A and B are shown apart, each in its own frame.
Chain A
Amino acid sequence: MRKLRRLKYLPIGAFLTVYFLLILWGWLDIFPRQWREVPPRTIVSQYYPPSVAHPLGIFFQKDLLISFVKSAPSSFVAGTITLLPFLVFGILLGVGSSMKQGSLQQLCHRLIEIMNAFPKLVVLLIYAALFGVNIYSLLILFGIISAPKLAELIRGKILELKREDFIDATIALGLPIRTIVFKHILWYHGRNIVASQIFYIFAMAVLMEASLSYLNLGIRYGYYSWGLMLHYATSVGHLSFFRWPWHPDFNLPAVLPSVGLIGLTYCLMYISRLIQEREMQMKGIL
């Protein structure tokens, strides 16, 4: 029975292993020469079905497998770039808004309210239109405007623990406030919250990168992304989802990035939820 329970996590582990292998492969950029050699474009089709020379076919003058593999690092970089501003701003805003009544606390509180009020995608669209930036700047901004979620959780944790006896003990021992907040509250009692939010925001960043590249915003020539693959797949009319996968008209250019995005975000959200459940189990709620 215990073995069966462990098997529950097997698909998640397998998918993440494949994802990391794809990232490595994409970064190393090692592909057989015949995959890189594509026939000249014809008017008839933008998509050539799988063949011996191209295992997943050719799509817009590129081997589909190469495009898929090279897109994996883009999603990973997107997640990583978003993480840093998200963590820094989230923790600072959370700690600031849980301070004693004062102008700093009010400022942090209002900032959280304002940042929560606006739709993130709309803010990113307007920022892209005004400042004409690349996708990485947009992802950094996304990390900053997503920070209130972490800030609220941290604020809740600090306010919850403020009344505990051990905090009084640390104050009586003369420990500095930063040690109490960052070590005794955030590290000893709040790291599960931060870990769960890291996985959540990683998933959200992957999806945001796909959305922005689908909309052709902030990307440069030679950029590979699952969202961009999905965007190009709209222009091939004769392909269909309701065919067998080996049929030449099967819409592989759309299915492949969709499987990547759905699988990756589901795995990350699942891990985030597992950590949250563990936190609740520790509290005795579940």
Chain B
Amino acid sequence: MRSLLKIAVFGIQVMALLLVITAIEFTVFVSSPAARQEMGKYILKYYPELVDGDVVMASQEVDTRLPLMAYWRFYFLWMTNILKDWNWGYSQFSGEPLSHLWGYPLRTTLLLAVMGLLFSTGIALFLVFLQRNWGESRPVRWFLQGTRFVSSIHYIILAYFVYYGLNLKNPPLIIPVLIIAVGNGVLTDTLDLISEDLKNIFSSRYYQGIRARGSNVYRHLAKPFTISLVRIMNAKFPMLLGGTFIVEYIMNIRAMGLETIQAVLQDDHLKLLVITFLVTIFILSSNFFNRLVQQKLDPRPVIEI
């Protein structure tokens, strides 16, 4: 019973947090004159009942900016529609329902970002292993230098060379995943962060104690290492998500990145709002997962300095 209550309280807290964040984002959107204009058109087209009669009577062809209350009424109605009927509204450009963003585009973007993160961490771990064991060997050093050079290349150029250079019109998903995992310094950053954390762990008294007692090092280091690995992955997630957006655009993969850039170029503000909400949900979920793992592995209370 107590655990059920805890789950219910947690669910309410998450919903309240999402509502507050989305309300702040909506305020930012409404503060833009261009967004007010475009969303005004949308409200007048789909929900004219939200606007007072005298405002509708004024010529709305040129200036469709409505009173602020009309936008807030629209926001609450929109949220109700989402929660009740899963109706996210319609694209202002093409008129298609925006709930389709939850299907293939969202799945593909999440797959690319998460797989990119896992690949990046996996490759970085392999490189750390190479560095620690054969760091003095010349071929290994050259290999690491080469990897650093490739990793310093930006997503645009890597994706561009793979897509246009190799003329891959329908590339298998592993190629964008590899580009996202390696490019833009993601691999180098992850490698450096893991090496630094490992150095800290190996120089700690805890590790020295384990060595002195002759205990199993791998078993005892698994926990602190997993904590630092999850922290690094959580810190890299937003960067990889941004990278996924641009790689999708260049490689013409129909996912959130392509949808976002099309929405920007077509002034489709409602679609942008939905995409912003989805990105917020991604980030919140990633942070929540990070905290959950940290609390499970290290339940000691955290004192903020």
Q: Do A and B bind each other?
A: yes
Name A residues whose Cβ lies closer than 8 Å to a Cβ of B: 109, 116-122, 125-126, 128-132, 159, 207, 210-211, 214-217, 227, 230, 233-234, 240-242, 251, 254, 258, 261-262, 265-266, 269, 285
B32 at the interface (CB under 8 A from A): yes
Sort A-B residue pairs by CB-CB distance and give the 10 closest, nearest first.
Answer: A119-B242, A130-B32, A121-B242, A129-B264, A241-B165, A207-B154, A119-B238, A119-B241, A266-B152, A117-B283
B239 at the interface (CB under 8 A from A): yes
Kindly supply a per-residue 1/0 record for chain B positions 151-184, scoring 1 wherever the CB is within 8 Å of any chain A CB and 0 otherwise. Answer: 0111111001100110000000000000000001
Known contacts A207-B154, A262-B152, A266-B152; is A122 also within 8 Å of B241 by CB? yes
B152 touching A269 by the CB < 8 A rule? yes
Residues of A within 8 A of B44 (CB): none
A210 touching B154 by the CB < 8 A rule? yes
Known contacts A129-B267, A131-B34, A269-B152; is A241 also within 8 Å of B28 by CB? no
A258 touching B28 by the CB < 8 A rule? no
B249 at the interface (CB under 8 A from A): yes
Residues of A within 8 A of B152 (CB): 262, 265-266, 269
B228 at the interface (CB under 8 A from A): no
Report how far A20 CA is from B192 CA in the complex, Å: 30
A121 touching B245 by the CB < 8 A rule? yes
Report how far A122 CA is from B269 CA in the complex, Å: 14
Report how far A127 CA is from B269 CA in the complex, Å: 11
B276 at the interface (CB under 8 A from A): yes
Residues of A within 8 A of B205 (CB): none
Q: Which of A116, A240, A269 contacts B235 (CB 8 A)?
A: A116
Known contacts A117-B287, A118-B238; is A130 also within 8 Å of B160 by CB? no
Known contacts A217-B264, A262-B152; is A132 also within 8 Å of B164 by CB? no
A-B contact pairs, 30 of them (CB 8 A): A120-B239, A121-B242, A121-B245, A121-B246, A122-B260, A125-B245, A125-B264, A126-B272, A128-B264, A129-B267, A130-B32, A130-B35, A207-B154, A207-B156, A210-B154, A210-B156, A217-B264, A230-B157, A230-B160, A233-B164, A234-B164, A240-B165, A241-B164, A241-B165, A251-B165, A258-B161, A261-B157, A262-B152, A262-B157, A265-B154
Question: By the criterion of a CB under 8 Å from any partner CB, how many residues of chain B are at the interface?
Answer: 43
Q: Which of A132, A159, A242, A285 contacts B34 (CB 8 A)?
A: A132
Name A109's closest neighbour in chain B (CB-CB).
B304
B199 at the interface (CB under 8 A from A): yes
Residues of B251-281 at the interface with A, using a CB-CB cut-off of 8 Å, are: 260-261, 263-265, 267, 269, 272, 275-276, 279
Report how far A255 CA is from B287 CA in the complex, Å: 40
- A15 CB to closest chain B CB, in angstroms? 13
Report how far A242 CA is from B154 CA in the complex, Å: 21
A159 touching B260 by the CB < 8 A rule? no
Report how far A165 CA is from B157 CA in the complex, Å: 50
B149 at the interface (CB under 8 A from A): yes
A258 touching B157 by the CB < 8 A rule? yes
The residue in B154, B161, B238 that gathers the most chain A C-beta atoms within 10 A of its C-beta is B154
B305 at the interface (CB under 8 A from A): yes
Known contacts A118-B238, A207-B154, A262-B153; is A126 also within 8 Å of B160 by CB? no
A215 touching B28 by the CB < 8 A rule? no
Name A285's closest neighbour in chain B (CB-CB).
B199
The residue in B29, B238, B249, B304 that gathers the most chain A C-beta atoms within 10 A of its C-beta is B238
Q: Which of A131, A159, A211, A234 contacts B154 (CB 8 A)?
A: A211
Residues of A within 8 A of B265 (CB): 216
